[in-house]
């Protein structure tokens, strides 16, 4: 039963003509036509590769949802479609909805680790330090000069696996930033958020990270009671424009004017 998937809304936007849209529609139809056999997975994977290029993420969400909910779908293709839905919802910043789908997939979510133990020259692999023989989450063990106990991982599994580098080598690398400023607007009858700066390292772009950050940012704005987000985008940056369009931002007819204020005196 796909109870959580039934709640996924489909938003209708005007179709934007582009080669990427045509390709996504063609792959979506191909995936739907082959969903009842294993090779349907290939079309889904190719379709998912367009996530950072399409103007409308519903081009991916609609076939994913249909394939996941259809009774005649191949079992492995159904699981793949649901996992791709998780990735799509995470990219949109919908962490709660993605977790609902993950829960239905039945992946183990509670992980515990213990260590680290001395493994110089990999010699420690021949020693039973205790946890392997009789796991006890309340027990501590002698490690490298101190006692260690079991720790519950904060990281969640989205695909049945867990990244052990999270507790061993927490990532502190900064790969981008977003700066939002607030102001009170009479036009919108409340506070408005302006995305003043948004930057990602070039090597991290077109991998879903920008979409995830923007989705999380929108969620933070909503939690703060701010329902309007505005920004400026260079028309030459098509990838950025597509990203914002996928998140519901629309181009306004008004123009942005600016000047460097040097004096309050106006010549007439």
Highest mean pLDDT among 10-19, 109-118, 155-164, 184-193: 184-193
- Please tell me whether residues 207 and 187 are part of one structural domain: yes
**Are 100 and 23 in the same domain?**
yes
3-state secondary structure the chain: CCCCHHHCCCCCCCCCCCHHHHHHHHHHHHHHHCCCCCCHHHHHHHHHCCCCCCCCCHHHHHHHHHHHHCCCCCHHHHHHHHHHHHHHHHHCCCHHHHHHHHHHHCCCCCCEECCCCCCHHHHHHHCCCCCCCCCCCCCEEECCCCEEECEECCCCCCCCCCCCHHHHCCCCCCCEEEEEEEEEECCCCEEEEEEEEEEECHHHCCCCHHHHHHHHHHHHHHHCCCCCEEECCCCCCHHHHHHHHHCCCCCCCCCCCCCCCCCCCCCC
Bigger pLDDT: 158 or 213? 213
- Based on the fold, state whether residues 130 and 193 are members of the same structural domain: no
Q: Is 10 part of any domain?
A: yes
Quote the mean pLDDT of the chain: 80
Statement to judge: residues 147 and 227 lie in one domain: no
Q: Same domain, yes or no, for 51 and 97? A: yes
Give tens-digit pLDDT for 26-73: 999 999 999 999 999 999 999 998 887 787 888 899 999 999 999 999
In a domain, 167, yes or no: no
At 13 the pLDDT is 46
**CATH number for the domain that contains residue 236:** 3.40.630.30
Report field, pTM of the whole predicted structure over 0.75: no
Question: Is 188 domain-assigned?
Answer: yes
- State whether 191 and 147 are in the same domain: no
Domain count of the fold of the chain = 3
Q: Whose structure tokens read 């204020």?
A: 261
Does residue 97 share a domain with residue 185?
no
Of 92, 73, 68, which Cα lies nearest the Cα of 245? Answer: 92
Residues 138, 85 share a domain: no
Establish if 166 belongs to a structural domain. Answer: no
Task: Give the pLDDT band (50/70/90) at residue 17.
Answer: low
Residue 261 lies in a domain: no
> For residue 262, is it within any domain?
no
Please check whether residue 30 lies inside any domain of the structure.
yes
**Cβ partners under 8 Å of residue 195, min gap 6:** 178, 179, 180, 217, 229, 230, 231
Cα gap 3→240, rounded to integer Å: 34
pLDDT tier, 79 (very low <50, low <70, confident <90, very high otherwise): very high
Q: What would the pLDDT profile of 82-96 be if each residue is shown by its tens digit?
A: 999 988 887 776 767
Range of the domain at 232: 176-246
238 and 208 in a common domain: yes
- Cα separation of 67 and 61, whole Å? 10
**Domain presence at residue 254:** no
Co-location of 10 and 92 in the same domain = yes
Same domain for 15 and 88, yes or no, is: yes
- Residue 12, sorted as left (phi over 0), alpha (psi -120 to 50) or beta, turns out to be beta
């Amino acid at each position: 039963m796909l109870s959580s998937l039934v709640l996924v809304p489909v938003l209708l936007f005007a179709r934007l003509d582009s080669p990427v849209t045509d390709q996504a529609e063609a792959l979506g139809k191909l995936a739907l036509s082959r969903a009842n056999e294993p090779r349907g997975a290939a079309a889904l994977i190719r379709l998912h590769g367009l996530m950072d290029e399409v103007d409308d993420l519903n081009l991916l969400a609609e076939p994913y949802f249909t394939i996941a909910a259809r009774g005649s779908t191949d079992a492995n293709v159904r699981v793949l479609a649901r996992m791709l839905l998780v990735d799509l919802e995470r990219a949109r910043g919908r962490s709660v909805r993605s977790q609902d789908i993950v829960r239905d997939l039945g992946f183990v979510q509670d992980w515990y680790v213990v260590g680290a133990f001395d493994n110089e020259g990999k010699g420690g692999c021949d020693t039973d330090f205790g946890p392997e023989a009789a796991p006890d989450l309340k027990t501590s063990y002698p490690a490298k000069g101190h006692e260690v106990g079991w720790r519950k991982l904060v990281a969640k599994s989205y695909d049945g696996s867990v990244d052990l580098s999270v507790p061993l080598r927490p990532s502190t690398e900064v790969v981008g930033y977003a700066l939002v400023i607030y102001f009170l607007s009479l036009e919108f009858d409340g506070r408005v958020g302006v995305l003043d700066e948004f930057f990602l390292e070039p090597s991290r772009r077109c991998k879903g990270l920008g979409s995830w950050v923007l989705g999380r940012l929108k969620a933070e704005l909503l939690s703060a009671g701010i329902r309007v987000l505005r920004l400026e985008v260079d028309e030459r940056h098509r990838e950025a424009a597509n990203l914002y369009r996928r998140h519901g931002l629309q181009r306004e007819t008004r123009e942005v004017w600016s000047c460097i204020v040097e004096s309050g005196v106006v010549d007439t």
